[in-house]
Chains A and B, each alone.
Chain A
Amino acid sequence: MIQTTTVGNYPKLSSTKGDVNIRKMLHRFDKGEIAAAELTAAYDQVTARVLREQREAGIDLPTDGQIRWDDLVTPLAARLDGFHSGGLLRWFDNNVYYRRPRVTGTVRWREAIMAADHAKAAREFGGPVKAVLPAPFSFAQLCEDQHYRSMETLMAYLVSVLRSETEALIRAGARHIQFDEPCLPKLPEYGVAAIAALNQVIAGQSAEFWLCFYFGDISGLVPALREFRGQVIAVDCVSQPRNLDITLNLDSAHNRCFGIIEARNIKLERPEQVRAQLERISGRHPDAYVSPSCGLEFLPHRDALAKLSLLGSAVRAFRGGQ
């Protein structure tokens, strides 16, 4: 049966009056007007709303919306040894920016970073929630390495910290862990090394591991993808429409997730267009996941909600008609 999921982030601000406004809470925290505990409570409330909205939209496997995260790498780097905050850089081809972490010393894992929040989100949802981490190659690419000055060496250290973080997540109950690899489609020559590094992160660990691509063309990665030792390959099929065929025809035993709802433009897909894609996908992969093309935070809240509702209702109708 076709399942629905989300990819990662979700709009932090609600369009519904009366919902917690995390933007204002952060401003108040910065000015010293509220304590850390109040900010934590606000984050929890927003995360609960995000999970509730995904449930109501019919999402089978949600993420926690990464409400505490500015981007995919900075929140991890901030709590690892060896990193300092760097300059602002554009986040791929989006009008969104991130502070590029600077590697300035030996990279070490100190403590579980996401585990407690993940467990809280799963309790809140009352079922599995997918945890999201950067894969080692993209993590390395998204940093400025002033210490090792070797991508291979930095990646080896990141494999170690991501392995520790993955273990901590699994101890906290995580059963679905997604590794995002947005840098790899543009650098397919690193495909074999990147997937080997990710395989080291997950080796011997027990969970459903996902490898997730967005913003790029995966055609150069096809042979390397077969080597992924995890279970699910997730692909943005909107930024590069031909990714849909490539993912459908990928010669491997992986389950797959098709990102078929445009998460970077508010124009809403027509239901019949979504249904046609579901028919194609389920014809080849009846247990596949479908999702938005990437995290939903590029959209205003009400538009993100409309996209999710469209996805959820299209899949419900499709399942009902099967």
Chain B
Amino acid sequence: MLETTSVGSFPKPDYLQKARTAFAAGKLPYAQLHELELQATRETIRLQEDLGIDILVHGEMERGDMTTYFAEKLVGMGISDLVRSYGNRYYRKPIVAGELQRPQPMTVEMFKYAQSLTSRPVKGMLTGPYTMCDWSFNTHYETRREVVLAFARLLHEEVRDLEAAGAKYIQIDEPAISTRPEELEIAIEAMGIVTQGINAMTISHICYGDFKSIYPRLLDLPVDQLDLEFANSGYSNLDVFRKPKFTKRIAFGVLDIHSHRIESVDEIVAGIRKGLEVFDPELMWIDPDCGLKTRTTAESEAKLRNMVEAVEVVKAGHGLK
């Protein structure tokens, strides 16, 4: 009930940013970079424990971009030069250039390492098949559906491996899912392949899209929980979910991760209370709108600290504790 969590990424400390730059320039061996990734992961786990977060993330210190990371691991993929995503932010867009294959697990080792650092559950963290397709150039497959389903089959193997490694919660992010409402059925079909036969609790994070265009069909996405952003829109998108009734678990975003401003406890409390008008508290988690990697460590800590305190206030006020 009102468990706290985070969506995925945490800000990379300066020493890791510098190391990544040095590694990219061929001036640092991978072994040294990886040591620093593990150090930053330890710090991220400790920070979340200190803040009292319930379900942890490993912070994605080994990942640059949420699609490019997987493109680097899969056979059949390449990486483009930089393209802009918004403002002055750029990323290297993956390219589906051949038959997709997964030569080995992509996320399991880091999951196991992060989980070994804490007794609290750590989420397994993947990018979903529809988003992998939508955020990649495709020069190989004939249709988008073929690309999505090819990703889905490989991600199913990864989910199975994460579950075998002990993951109790596995998040398969689909931020692109509302991009083309007419393709929602493909995304649902693909997620069905990814989560088929999995006993771990499955989650899908979706953000910065037009929820109105895909609700209530979105409830057919075969995952247990949807993790959605609300603070960024001033909670105006909450109305979408009033009717018909939201039937899944929800992770409710209460921190605008694109703003430097630290939301006050009162403001977050008000946001959670708005959420409670629509969602069942038994089925509701509280988290930021999206990954925190664009914030500084200090901003992330301050935002999360207020979030945890706000949850305590709400629980006390509603007699939920």
Q: Which residues of B sit under 8 angstroms from A95, Cβ to Cβ?
A: 85, 93, 134-135, 176, 179
The answer to whether A88 touches B208 (Cβ under 8 A) is yes
The answer to whether B138 touches A87 (Cβ under 8 A) is no
Type the 1/0 row for A12-24, where 1 means its CB is closer than 8 Å to any CB of B: 1101000000010
Is the CB of B232 closer than 8 A to any CB of chain A?
yes
Q: Which residues of B sit under 8 angstroms from A89, Cβ to Cβ?
A: 208
The answer to whether A267 touches B139 (Cβ under 8 A) is yes
Residues 215-235 of B contacting A (Cβ, < 8 Å): 232-234
The answer to whether B83 touches A97 (Cβ under 8 A) is no
Q: Which residues of B sit under 8 angstroms from A12, Cβ to Cβ?
A: 84
Residues 126-155 of B contacting A (Cβ, < 8 Å): 134-135, 137-139
Query: How many Å from the CB of B261 to the closest CB on chain A?
Result: 13
Is the CB of B32 closer than 8 A to any CB of chain A?
no
The answer, among B93, B179, B208, for a CB contact under 8 Å with A300, is B93
- The distance in angstroms between the C-alpha atoms of A90 and B131, with both chains bound, is 13
- The distance in angstroms between the C-alpha atoms of A302 and B134, with both chains bound, is 21
The answer to whether B88 touches A93 (Cβ under 8 A) is no
State how many residues of chain A have any CB contact under 8 Å with chain B: 29
Q: Which residues of A sit under 8 angstroms from B83, Cβ to Cβ?
A: 11, 297-300
Is the CB of B90 closer than 8 A to any CB of chain A?
yes
The answer to whether A265 touches B80 (Cβ under 8 A) is no
User: What are 13 pairs between A and B in contact, CB < 8 Å?
Assistant: A12-B84, A13-B90, A23-B90, A26-B88, A88-B86, A95-B134, A95-B135, A95-B176, A96-B84, A96-B86, A265-B139, A266-B95, A303-B80
Closest residue on chain A to residue B139 by CB atoms: A267
- The distance in angstroms between the C-alpha atoms of A207 and B93, with both chains bound, is 39
13 further A-B contacts with Cβ under 8 Å, apart from A96-B84, A96-B86, are: A13-B82, A26-B88, A70-B86, A87-B232, A87-B233, A88-B86, A90-B178, A90-B179, A93-B179, A98-B86, A298-B83, A301-B81, A303-B80
- The distance in angstroms between the C-alpha atoms of A95 and B88, with both chains bound, is 14
Q: Which residues of B sit under 8 angstroms from A94, Cβ to Cβ?
A: 179
Residues 66-102 of A contacting B (Cβ, < 8 Å): 70, 87-90, 93-99
Is the CB of B256 closer than 8 A to any CB of chain A?
yes
The answer to whether B139 touches A266 (Cβ under 8 A) is yes
Is the CB of B210 closer than 8 A to any CB of chain A?
yes
Is the CB of A27 closer than 8 A to any CB of chain B?
yes
- The distance in angstroms between the C-alpha atoms of A273 and B256, with both chains bound, is 47
- The distance in angstroms between the C-alpha atoms of A99 and B233, with both chains bound, is 11
- The distance in angstroms between the C-alpha atoms of A299 and B81, with both chains bound, is 9
Q: Which residues of B sit under 8 angstroms from A266, Cβ to Cβ?
A: 80, 95, 137, 139
Type the 1/0 row for B265-301, where 1 means its CB is closer than 8 Å to any CB of A: 0000000000000000000000000000000000000
Residues 276-322 of A contacting B (Cβ, < 8 Å): 297-303
The answer to whether A302 touches B81 (Cβ under 8 A) is yes
Q: Which residues of A sit under 8 angstroms from B179, Cβ to Cβ?
A: 90, 93-95
Q: Which residues of A sit under 8 angstroms from B120, Cβ to Cβ?
A: none
Residues 79-116 of B contacting A (Cβ, < 8 Å): 80-88, 90, 93, 95
Residues of B within 8 A of A (CB): 80-88, 90, 93, 95, 134-135, 137-139, 176, 178-180, 208-210, 232-234, 256, 258
The answer to whether B86 touches A97 (Cβ under 8 A) is yes
Q: Which residues of A sit under 8 angstroms from B86, Cβ to Cβ?
A: 70, 88, 96-99
The answer to whether A265 touches B81 (Cβ under 8 A) is no
The answer to whether A27 touches B258 (Cβ under 8 A) is no
Q: Which residues of A sit under 8 angstroms from B176, Cβ to Cβ?
A: 95
Question: A266-B139, A267-B138 in contact; A90/B85 too (CB < 8 A)?
Answer: no
- The distance in angstroms between the C-alpha atoms of A70 and B85, with both chains bound, is 10
Q: Which residues of B sit under 8 angstroms from A299, Cβ to Cβ?
A: 83
The answer to whether A93 touches B180 (Cβ under 8 A) is yes
- The distance in angstroms between the C-alpha atoms of A12 and B178, with both chains bound, is 27
The answer to whether A90 touches B81 (Cβ under 8 A) is no
The answer to whether B84 touches A297 (Cβ under 8 A) is yes
- The distance in angstroms between the C-alpha atoms of A298 and B139, with both chains bound, is 15
Q: Which residues of A sit under 8 angstroms from B135, Cβ to Cβ?
A: 95
Q: Which residues of B sit under 8 angstroms from A97, Cβ to Cβ?
A: 85-86, 208
The answer to whether A300 touches B232 (Cβ under 8 A) is no
The answer to whether A265 touches B208 (Cβ under 8 A) is no
The answer to whether A15 touches B208 (Cβ under 8 A) is no
Query: How many Å from the CB of B223 to the closest CB on chain A?
Result: 21
The answer to whether A300 touches B81 (Cβ under 8 A) is yes
Q: Which residues of B sit under 8 angstroms from A302, Cβ to Cβ?
A: 81
- The distance in angstroms between the C-alpha atoms of A138 and B68, with both chains bound, is 32
Closest residue on chain B to residue A299 by CB atoms: B83
The answer to whether A23 touches B88 (Cβ under 8 A) is yes
Closest residue on chain B to residue A302 by CB atoms: B81
- The distance in angstroms between the C-alpha atoms of A23 and B178, with both chains bound, is 29
- The distance in angstroms between the C-alpha atoms of A300 and B90, with both chains bound, is 10
Q: Which residues of A sit under 8 angstroms from B208, Cβ to Cβ?
A: 88-90, 97
- The distance in angstroms between the C-alpha atoms of A26 and B86, with both chains bound, is 13
Query: How many Å from the CB of A206 to the closest CB on chain B?
Result: 35
- With most chain B CB atoms within 10 A of its CB, the pick from A13, A26, A88, A266 is A88
- The distance in angstroms between the C-alpha atoms of A26 and B178, with both chains bound, is 31
Closest residue on chain B to residue A30 by CB atoms: B88
Query: How many Å from the CB of B90 to the closest CB on chain A?
Result: 6
Query: How many Å from the CB of B296 to the closest CB on chain A?
Result: 14
- The distance in angstroms between the C-alpha atoms of A177 and B95, with both chains bound, is 35
- The distance in angstroms between the C-alpha atoms of A299 and B87, with both chains bound, is 16
The answer to whether A27 touches B82 (Cβ under 8 A) is no
